[in-house]
Amino acid sequence: MSCYKDTMDSTDKPCFAEKYQYSLPLLKPFRTTKRHRHPIDNAGLFSFMTLNWITPLARKAYQLSELNISDLWDLPSHDSAEQNCQRLHRLWEAELKKCGKKKASLRKVVWRFCQTRSVLAFLCLIITMIANFIGPAIFIRALLEYSEAMESNLLYGLLLSFGIFAAELLRSWSFAMSWAMNYRTEFD
């Protein structure tokens, strides 16, 4: 198996770095690159999950009170219908080759088509639910017990307050990331 397109045949699967070459830079917390035409491709992790990359367009819409079609960015090339159609077609051809025409499953092909983002969005949603539980069930309960106690330990109270803050921050960021990934997957 090779990572180079010129030596790959139809049975080779792309390696991890090639398969996720457009998605991996998104994991950098902050990116200052302006190489790509679409701002979402220049966005870092925090910009992506908070939708900060769309701020220039929102500011322009606010200032002008309207947007023209020329104000909008072109769709990123790896999000285009043509590229995704080719990818879906390759997956379908591989399914036909593997299972035959009678047993081929469109459901499996569609799942394979969007499984990475779907699984990551689901994991972010699980983290959201865990943080949503931990905040009130553990930290707020402990803070209420601490406030009723006869003795006071300032450090313990501050740690509980920080725990509530951290749980809420984790909850909101993981939910925002889940939403942003699901939103972008709609277009892929």
- pLDDT higher than threshold 70 for residue 131: yes
CA 39 to CA 47: how far, in whole Å?
Answer: 10
- Whole-angstrom CA distances from 39 to 21, 43, 84, 118 are 17, 6, 20, 22
For the chain, domain boundaries: 1-79
- pLDDT higher than threshold 50 for residue 85: yes
- pLDDT higher than threshold 60 for residue 119: yes
Cβ-contact 127, 176 below 8 angstroms = no
The amino acid at 36? H
Q: How many CB atoms lie within 10 A of CB 185?
A: 15
Q: How confident is the model at residue 185 (pLDDT cuts 50, 70, 90)?
A: low
Radius of gyration of the chain (CA): 23
Q: How confident is the model at residue 90 (pLDDT cuts 50, 70, 90)?
A: very high
Q: How many CB atoms lie within 10 A of CB 139?
A: 20
pLDDT cut 70: percent of the chain above it: 79
**Phi then psi for 143, rounded to 5 degrees?**
-70, -40
Q: What pTM was computed for the model?
A: 0.66
Query: Residue 138 in 3-state DSSP?
Result: helix
The burial of 124, by beta-carbon neighbours within 10 Å (0-12 exposed, 13-18 middle, 19 or more buried), is given as buried
CA 188 to CA 184: how far, in whole Å?
Answer: 7
pLDDT in tens, 4-30: 343 344 455 666 556 655 655 666 666
Please report which helix (H) or strand (E) contains residue 34, including its range. Answer: none
Cβ-contact 108, 95 below 8 angstroms = yes
